[in-house]
Amino acid sequence: MSSVPAATILGFPRMGSNRQLKKAVEAFWASKISESELLDRTKQLRKEHWELQASLGLKQVPVGDFSFYDHMLDHAVLFGIVPERYNVTKPGLECYFAMARGLQAPDRGIDVPSLEMVKWFDTNYHYMVPQIAENQTFALDSTKIIDELREALALGLDARPVVVGPVTFLKLSKTASGAGSTLSYLPQILPLYVELIKQLVAEGAKWVQLDEPVLALDIDAETQEAYRTAYAELAKISGAQYLVATYFAGLEDNLELAASLPIQALHLDLVRNPEQLEGALKAVPESVVLSLGVINGRNIWKADLSKGLELINTAAKARPADKLIINSSCSLLHTPHSLDAETELDAELKNWLAFSTEKIAEIVVLSRALHEGVDAVKAELDANAAAIQSRRTSDRVSNPAVKSRVVSLKESDFSRNNEFSVRQAAQHDKYKLPLFPTTTIGSFPQTSDIRRNRARFRKSEITAEQYQEYLETATRECIEWQDNIGIDVLVHGEFERNDMVEFFGENLSGFAFTRNGWVQSYGSRCVKPPVIYGDVSRTRPITVETAKFAQTCSPKPVKGMLTGPVTILQWSFVRDDQPRSETCKQIALAIRDEVVDLETAGTTIIQVDEPAIREGLPLRKSGWDDYLEWSVDSFRLATAGVVDSTQIHTHMCYSEFNTIFPAIQRMDADVITIENAKSDLKLLHAFEHHGYKAEIGPGLYDIHSPRVPSVQEMKERVRKMLNYLSPQLLWINPDCGLKTRGWEEVRSSLTNLVEVARELRKEY
């Protein structure tokens, strides 16, 4: 066995310390740089990242974790899984980005939508779903990962290629028809994995990392057998050493299966499930190296190194040090690059945090403690212990009044006054909306002019009065435009908001904000999650004055727009010193106060977005009931304080409703809009199967793509929806908010959307 790396990580953030990847890719899309310049910039970025990891003390660096857009999309290209519709594009990056974003080029007769996009397990990262044709011909194109391996080796680094394992890759893919098991393609794709790994070994890879997070989920007999078959075949390759990485959950009932695989190293996520170590030490053969994921790759809190050392010492009593790897729990893709840029955080709070580069330093300290003894890193361990104690005892973390309010909640605080049918009658009588009412999800394009004025205000280059005047002008123009084209329920555009979670966090206690704490959400889209460090409460109204102004701009109803408590929780870096359910109820009470104040001020259609409620599900079904109880209760707590005629909307993304449909019904929203355009209407089967009595707006077009849908295209989608839904319940809307789109495409798309509703009203 080649030397075992003492310290490593499963992957590193792609974007760069200053979002260099985002800027390069978007410049390429805008034709401001050439393909060769894009390739040069990203090659330099990879070099910087690898050299940084090595300088921090990692003994082996991952390669192949870089992507122009998404690693699952990279693997689709790697294995030749390119749907036929993309054959009209140029091979290479044009085809790749067409699969990612869709492509409209009327002068060339090209109009292709993107692949489906869904959440990566229970994270806020999105991946593109490979679509396997019925008679798929697989073909290996290993250029990207081989080139990146060569780049790292040329720098004199010990480089470990990262590949999504064959079973996880197929399980996360879909068939073009939506029917049948993707695992049936294992015999065709497995030879390509064999050839790929042979090439990597020939190029000098001492280890190959195969990511198999599906191995830590609830899996059936077919999947278990697929693991045995795949790894028996991969084990035949001479010179190949495999680190199989499981993460986001514990192996639990799959431990015996994992322990039986003919591999050289097994990675355990000991942050999500530290209890699995004891069983693994007994079940996994002593010849197999254990990779201990003791540093959290999902959160930004400084690790308690003493607890990490306890786990490492437990392992070291059963295994020699050279049979242990100190590692991150998962890829650091989900954490920001470095704390170096955080010059505006106060010293106390900053001392509680660790971003990706700081997490690598923690891994190295723990590795040195294992191999050199704790005295060699005593100063580092003492500093860590002081930081942990500082956070534990700080007065800013706890608010007794907030805790008391949660404890005092009554059962009636979680329910509306009457059932939906009574509320619906009151709402129809009040709003008198037409059949197939039209609306949007909330945000409108955040133009460079909007971002520039926001930045000028924050830098005090314009006064608060000037900035408010600018926002009111933008809001009025947005509302008047919606009114003029015939949208029925309007929105104010959210021009005052930097991000749907960050904006609310900035107006709640217990939140802190970073200057450069960006993480990738999808493609070039980055978000900067707030940090919830203490008890949460609302100290003043947040959106009420904006909503009051917006309503003066039109006689039509203008929705109040709020982010729901579960989404604020899920899309933040959450404190880990109390149950997430407790923090979520605190946020729910803050949003409830805002909902009630909006209603009092005259805004009586209120949307409380919960796009993240599905992604918060525990990956093991054994934890679902508890999560769904407190998450749905939190939404109900936030929305139950209003009268019957006040209409509560919510919006949800990427939700496979069949699995959680009773919980969706229990949310008791009056109108639910769902992201649906990428799903081939599969979500609507849940509504047919279970029945749904409230009103619903399945998205008619994909806002993640710049392409403009035609009237006919959207109308056909509605016709299919009407096979499942009553016309009296159906709303007409896009998939999601329009923040990331340009005004030209938004105007065309929404004009077409309104025309769809007009034509349908003539038919029903």
Active site residues: 704
DSSP per-residue string spanning 346-393: -HHHHTTB--HHHHHHHHHHHHHHHHH-GGGGHHHHHHHHHHHHHHHH
Tell the residue number behind the tokens 């591999």, with chain if given. Answer: 263
244 contacts 210 by C-beta, under 8 angstroms: yes
Rounded Cα distance, 425 and 423, in Å: 5
The dihedrals phi and psi of 119, each to the nearest 5 degrees, come to: -75, 145
Q: Is 579 exposed, middle or buried (0-12, 13-18, 19+ CB in 10 A)?
A: exposed
Amino acid found at 705: S
List the alpha helices (DSSP H) in 211-254. 221-234
The distance in angstroms from the start CA to the end CA of the chain is: 71
- What 8-state DSSP symbol labels residue 489? B
DSSP per-residue string spanning 671-698: EEEE--GGGTTTTHHHHHHH---SEEEE
Rounded Cα distance, 748 and 707, in Å: 10
Give the residue among 106, 144, 107, 88 at the shortest CA–CA distance from 98: 88
Q: What angle do CA 246, 288, 254 make, to 5 degrees?
A: 40
292 contacts 245 by C-beta, under 8 angstroms: no
514 contacts 336 by C-beta, under 8 angstroms: yes
Rounded Cα distance, 728 and 219, in Å: 40
**Token couple for 320:** 């020699």
For residues 316-354, one letter each, b for 16 or more C-beta atoms within 10 angstroms of the residue's C-beta and e for the rest, the string is: bebbeeebbbbbbbbbbbbbbbbbebbeebeeebbbbbb
Tell me the β-bridge partners of 265: 243, 289
Nearest 10 degrees: CA dihedral of 94, 95, 100, 103?
70
Q: From start to end of 249-384, where are the E strands?
A: 265-269, 289-295, 324-328
**Token couple for 209:** 């990392």
Pairing type for strands 117-119 and 126-128 reads: antiparallel
CA dist 736 → 663, 706, 732, 750 (Å)? 21, 13, 12, 12
89 contacts 95 by C-beta, under 8 angstroms: yes
Rounded Cα distance, 20 and 14, in Å: 9
Give the residue among 755, 764, 760 at the shortest CA–CA distance from 711: 755
- What 8-state DSSP symbol labels residue 204? T
Rounded Cα distance, 531 and 266, in Å: 32
**Token couple for 239:** 């010179």
Give the residue among 576, 563, 575, 489 at the shortest CA–CA distance from 536: 575
**CA dihedral over 280, 281, 287, 290, signed as positive or negative:** positive
**Token couple for 579:** 């149950």
Amino acid found at 41: R
Give the residue among 672, 750, 737 at the shortest CA–CA distance from 443: 737
Sheet holding 289-295, edge to edge: 61-63, 159-164, 208-211, 242-245, 265-269, 289-295, 324-328
